[in-house]
């Protein structure tokens, strides 16, 4: 039986990531970019789980959760609040609104899957493998081989084209370089950006604080 995840977040990146995360599962992801649309879609789709950003246009995640808790028929729907890495998360407000859980962005796909499955009502919960039709749950990217070069060279070996580095022709090196560039998918770029941007932001804030103190 297919179920629905309602995602409310104004970040196109987050909406794309969550949609891709559950692409091979028996969940359909319905995404909206603001809290008002989330409430309207909640009434229409009656989702199994709601993921709501705490800061977004219209009603915020706390308010969306409060609306759901006051619903006459679906007040028990699990609501997971999405919290930005630099957002001020109000635990008391989250508790008062009736939030089921929260997760900090950026999150690993596997962590989100496990959290969603853990908040599902017992009668509708299934093993993760069953939800993903026997496929492996997405895991965190291996930072030691972010571009998948190990697999790339394995492919070259299987094709019978693998040679020692010293004996590779310029054409073969160019072909491998082209394949590396092709592996720079949007998701990989986003993963790199999510690792770098917080550090840059923290450094800028630190420098500004030093200026104000001097």
For residue 55, the number of C-alpha atoms closer than 13 Å in the C-beta half-sphere is 10
Residue range 129-163, pLDDT digits in tens: 666 665 555 554 444 444 444 554 455 445 544 44
> What's the gap between Cα 71 and its chain centre?
27
pLDDT at res. 162: 46
pLDDT at res. 1: 75
Is residue 69 within 8 Å of 75, Cβ to Cβ? yes
Ranges 24-28, 163-167, 179-183: which has the least confidence: 163-167
What 3-state class would DSSP assign to 129? helix
Q: In order of start, what are the domains of the chain with their CATH numbers? A: 3-131 (3.40.50.2300), 143-213 (no CATH)
Q: Helices marked H in 46-135 — which ranges?
A: 61-69, 91-97, 109-119, 128-131
Q: Of 187, 189, 207, nearest to 197 (Cα)?
A: 189
Distance CA 89, CA 177 (A): 44
Q: Is the pTM of this model over 0.85?
A: no
Tell me whether residue 32 is exposed, middle or buried, using C-beta atoms within 10 angstroms of its C-beta: 0 to 12, 13 to 18, 19 or more: buried
pLDDT at res. 24: 87
């Amino acid at each position: 039986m297919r179920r629905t995840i309602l995602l409310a977040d104004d970040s196109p990146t987050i909406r794309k990531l969550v949609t891709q995360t559950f692409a091979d599962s028996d969940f359909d992801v319905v995404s909206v970019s603001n809290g008002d649309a989330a409430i309207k879609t909640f009434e229409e789709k009656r989702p199994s789980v709601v993921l709501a950003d705490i800061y977004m246009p219209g009603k915020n995640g706390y308010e969306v959760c409060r609306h759901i808790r006051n619903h006459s028929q679906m007040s028990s729907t699990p609501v997971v609040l999405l919290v930005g890495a630099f957002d001020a998360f109000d635990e008391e407000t989250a508790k008062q609104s009736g939030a089921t859980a929260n997760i900090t962005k950026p999150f690993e796909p596997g962590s989100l899957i496990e959290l969603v499955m853990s908040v599902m009502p017992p009668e509708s919960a299934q093993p993760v493998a069953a939800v993903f039709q026997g496929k492996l749950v997405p895991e965190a990217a291996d930072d030691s081989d972010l571009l998948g070069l190990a697999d790339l060279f394995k492919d070259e070996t299987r094709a019978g084209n693998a040679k020692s580095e010293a004996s590779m022709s310029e054409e073969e090196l160019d072909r491998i370089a082209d394949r590396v560039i092709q592996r720079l998918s949007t998701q990989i770029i986003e993963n790199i950006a999510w690792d770098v941007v917080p550090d840059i932001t923290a450094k800028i804030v630190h420098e500004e604080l030093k200026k104000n103190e001097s």
